Amino acid sequence: MQPTSVFDRLLEEGLISPDSHQKNVAAITNDRVSIHWDIKTNLYLGVSLLSAGLGTLVYKNIDTIGHQVILLVIALISMGSFYYCTSNKLPFSTAKVAAPHPFFDYILLLACSTFVSFIVYLQFQYNVFGNRYGLATFFPMLVLFFSAYYFDHLGVLSMAIVALGAWAGLTITPLHLIDSNDFNQSSLLFTAMALGALLVIIGWFARRQQMKAHFEFTYSNFGIHLLMVSCIAAMFHFDAASLFWCLVLLVLAYLFYRKAIHDTSFYIVLVIILYAYFAISYVVVRMLGKVSDAGIGMVYLGFIYFIVSAIMMVLFLINTNKKLKAI
């Protein structure tokens, strides 16, 4: 069916007024192609390529340029970008603030990433913060959080949360949460749990107090993954108590599930269900493995467990989807 004939048909059936018909047919024939996301993608790639290329260039020629010059250039880029952002930004509000210009968000990104580089460079080369390493991550983190709220930028907020994790000794960039942290240390595990809980609470608070409520997703996304991954890591690490940590995970999962249903967040529902299913399956497989004298029978039982449980999870997901759509 042709796009315009959809509305012809609706007009014939008397489902729309001639006025609406005309409006829609005109909109389809004059439809303009949106390149909004093409512009955003290219801006992002452009900023990344430019800064990475220049960075490598500087790194290779460090002997001829000299550290002071490089630091100066980085500082100038950062200050210039921040200056542009402060002089062009729309007034602060606790609600969502739109960017005044398509380039604004990316200039702010440039400002923030060069600022972080400046601090890292300063510490690396001149040891400005001495042995107080915490300060070298704490200070950029403060600036990032401030920028995220002051200019209203989700990407900078994510960078700030990652910096907060780094300050606590954790790598929480989304793709390196599992492989870059050594969860075999109890202290790191508990740090991760505490940080996850803190992020979830901040997110909850942001929504409740309407203080940049649209930041909530970013906070709770980092928080929930951190909490769930550290619970699973605890199941592996404290082997004797794995059932206990599985229970902790399930209780948390239930709470998050309730909240996700309430917020109609399909993404969180999926993530929670998969974490919970993984944890339960781990416990089941371990229990089957402990029955040592049954041999191949246990393997069969394990396979049947996965078939039955996965079918049950499918039904559960379908049901949840129905529940969420009904809201």
Partner 1 sequence: MIAYAPSQLDNLQVSEAVQKACYKKQLSHAEQEAILQRYASWFYSPNFFIRIGLFLLTCVVLFFFFGLLVLIFLSVIDKAIGGMSIFFGLIAWACLEFVIKNNRHLQSGVDDALLWIAVALVTGGSSYLIGAGPIGNSLLVFFITLMAGVRFADRMLSTISFLALVAILFYIGVKIGGWGTLMLPFVIMVLSAGVYFWSRYQLARFPNILYQKCLNVLCVAALVVFYGAGNYYIVRELSSQLPGAGNSSMPVASWIWWLFTGLIPLAYVMRGILSRDILLLRTGIVLVAVIIFTVRYYIAFADIEIIMAAAGAFMLIAVYLATRFVKWPRRGFTNEVDDFGEEEKGKRQVESLLQAETLSAPPAPVPGFGGGSFGGGGASSEF
Site for partner 1 in 174-233 (CB under 8 A): 174-176, 180-182, 185, 187-188, 191, 217-218, 221
276 near partner 1 (CB under 8 A):
no
Q: Which of 75, 154, 284, 285 binds partner 1 (CB under 8 A)?
A: 154
State the minimum distance, in angstroms, from the CB of residue 183 to partner 1: 12
Of 31-39, 79-87, 230-238, 247-255, the segment contacting partner 1 by CB under 8 A is: 31-39
242 near partner 1 (CB under 8 A):
no
Q: What are the structure tokens assigned to 121, written together?
A: 């460079």
State the minimum distance, in angstroms, from the CB of residue 248 to partner 1: 22
DSSP 228-250: HHHHHHHHHHSGGGHHHHHHHHH
Helix (H) or strand (E) holding 55: helix 36-60
State the minimum distance, in angstroms, from the CB of residue 22 to partner 1: 10
Q: Which of 17, 68, 186, 209 binds partner 1 (CB under 8 A)?
A: 17
Contacts of 205 (CB under 8 A, 6+ apart): 211
12 near partner 1 (CB under 8 A):
no
273 near partner 1 (CB under 8 A):
yes
Contacts of 133 (CB under 8 A, 6+ apart): 123
Decide: 266 and 233 in contact? Cβ < 8 Å: no
State the minimum distance, in angstroms, from the CB of residue 175 to partner 1: 6
314 near partner 1 (CB under 8 A):
yes
307 near partner 1 (CB under 8 A):
yes
Of 164-172, 193-201, 236-244, 251-259, the segment contacting partner 1 by CB under 8 A is: 164-172
Q: Which of 170, 224, 229, 233 binds partner 1 (CB under 8 A)?
A: 170
How many residues contact partner 1, by CB under 8 A?
A: 116
78 near partner 1 (CB under 8 A):
no
Decide: 327 and 264 in contact? Cβ < 8 Å: yes
Q: What are the structure tokens assigned to 142, written together?
A: 């403060």
Residue of 200, 194, 154, 193 whose CA lies nearest to 44: 154
Q: What are the structure tokens assigned to 51, written together?
A: 């800064």
Decide: 85 and 108 in contact? Cβ < 8 Å: yes
CA 27, CA 252: separation in Å to the nearest integer? 48
CA 66, CA 62: separation in Å to the nearest integer? 6
